[in-house]
Amino acid sequence: MTHRRPLVEALKNFQQQRPVSFHVPGHKHGELSGLPDEIRPALQYDQTELSGLDDLHYPDGPIRKAQELLSEAYGADQSFFLVNGSTSGNLAMIHAVCKEGDRVLVQRNSHKSIFHALELARVRPVYLAPGWGQASQSAEGISLETVKEALRQYPDAKALILTYPNYYGMARTETEDIISYCHQFNIPVLVDEAHGAHLLAGQPFPQSALSLGADVVVQSAHKTLPAMTMGSYLHIQGTRINAEKIRKYLRMFQSSSPSYLIMASLDDARAYIQTYSSPDMQYFEEKRRLFISSLQTIAGLAVFEADDPLKIMLRVEGHNGFKLQKKLEEMNVYVELADIRQVLMVLPLLKQGHIYPFAEIRSRIREAVQKLRKEQVDPKIMMAPQETTVISEPEISCEAIDLADKEWISYTKAMGRYSAAMVTPYPPGIPLAVPGEVWTHSKLERLLDHLAAGAMIQGEHNLAEKQLFVIQHGGVK
């Protein structure tokens, strides 16, 4: 274990010198800022690449030391700070491993940033459908059999891209076997582990994909560790990955003016999880157990526990998750996301001595549930079935889509038409349709279910006018 925080210490030492700023940023250590008094003092540490503070893109000082401690903590060959979120890491890993025209196997319930990376890299994706978790009511992981069949059909595949665990904290148990099988063919496995930076804490948490043998793993430290929003990690291991290519694309996809506040929070978050002790775990588990037990006494409320102990889902029979979310927010309780069936809560990864107002939270949840149960039940709250096609690929390439003639049509007429845009319920950010995919009856029914339940839909669409963007008949040149 190590409590060292090289970048945090460097920033503190720098500020103690009472430096005078004739450099960027323009707020001049917060002196010119109009932000609230509670925020402005933090700007003293919002620095730039000054002597002694290092350079993220060519580190040789405290940032380098902080990243070396990060790789040691996670057992990676090399690790990197990401200040543009896991999105920048997903972009970098795909561009570093794949070249234009390569065929790539992709878990279909990936985050939209993965699909953006595929489009930018101009690769040829093959989508692998995940299994549906009846208990979790979410799309979970893909099976080893699906990967084997995909490689039989597409032996020229250059990489496999997985999401693990899923947003809801479900961790597919076959992940290690999938990684091992791909490695038999020297195929690198790239993992979006946005919701797994805390898995380093050990049991009862699932294993990280890094410890399961993945070649590149991207983690959103800000999601489950005490890092600032946009703070993430990228880890690499093994000989299948060119580290210099990773560095090259990180320089391209990340800001040339990285936030020192975000980087310092990443240094601090690494120290937090690296020093997570057995007594800390016992404290967390006990607080969690008591909280869940108290929720289970609320009439009408069902609690589902994910594979990841940091995630729980709350459900009220006869009511969709969006209405439950609204009632909770009326009580100033804000959950991570809502879907048609439930809401998802991300619990705090407490250490000994941390106080969280669980009793007060339970009281507010109880009142929210009581109010919701007085309302009329929803006639339909179950999402339409998932797609049954396990292995598929877009029939139209990104290049052809760019050149194609497109049009807006009523979504009642969209079945059988090729989508010209991404349509994404957010959160969780998993596209319902991506460019080049056909709008099927199942996809349209799920879209209507989301709209009826009040979900937010991102992407290029005009759903307020009940229209979708599609490729014209005969519009592909």
End-to-end CA distance of the chain: 59
Is the Cβ–Cβ distance between 104 and 274 less than 8 Å? no
Q: Which residues of 211-234 are buried (b: 16+ CB within 10 A; e: fewer)?
A: bbbbbbbbbbbbbbbbbbebbbbb
pLDDT at 181: 98
Neighbour tally for 356: CB within 10 Å: 12
Taking the CA atoms of residue 406, residue 411, residue 417 and residue 419 in that order, the dihedral angle to the nearest 10 degrees is 60
pLDDT at 159: 98
pLDDT tens digits, the chain, 477 residues: what are they?
A: 678 999 999 999 999 999 999 999 999 999 999 999 999 999 999 999 999 999 999 999 999 999 999 999 999 999 999 999 999 999 999 999 999 999 999 999 999 999 999 999 999 999 999 988 888 988 899 999 999 999 999 999 999 999 999 999 999 889 999 999 999 999 999 999 999 999 999 999 999 999 999 999 999 999 999 999 999 999 999 999 999 999 999 999 999 999 999 999 999 999 999 999 999 999 999 999 999 999 999 999 999 999 999 999 999 999 999 999 999 999 999 999 999 899 999 999 999 999 999 999 999 999 999 999 999 998 766 554 566 689 999 888 888 888 889 999 998 899 999 999 889 888 787 888 888 889 998 889 888 888 888 888 888 888 888 899 999 987 676
pLDDT at 52: 95
pLDDT at 475: 67
Is the Cβ–Cβ distance between 198 and 310 less than 8 Å? yes
Q: Which two tokens stand for residue 329?
A: 């927010």
Is the Cβ–Cβ distance between 287 and 356 less than 8 Å? yes
Is the Cβ–Cβ distance between 393 and 126 less than 8 Å? yes
Sheet holding 343-346, edge to edge: 301-305, 311-316, 343-346, 337-338
**CA proximity to 110, closest of 30, 23, 93:** 93
Ordered by where they begin, the domains of the chain are 6-274 (3.40.640.10), 278-373 (3.90.1150.150), 394-471 (3.90.105.10)
Is the Cβ–Cβ distance between 418 and 395 less than 8 Å? yes
pLDDT at 251: 98
Is the Cβ–Cβ distance between 158 and 422 less than 8 Å? no
The partner residues of 234 in beta bridges, in order of sequence, read: 80, 218
Sign of the CA dihedral 233, 239, 241, 247?
positive
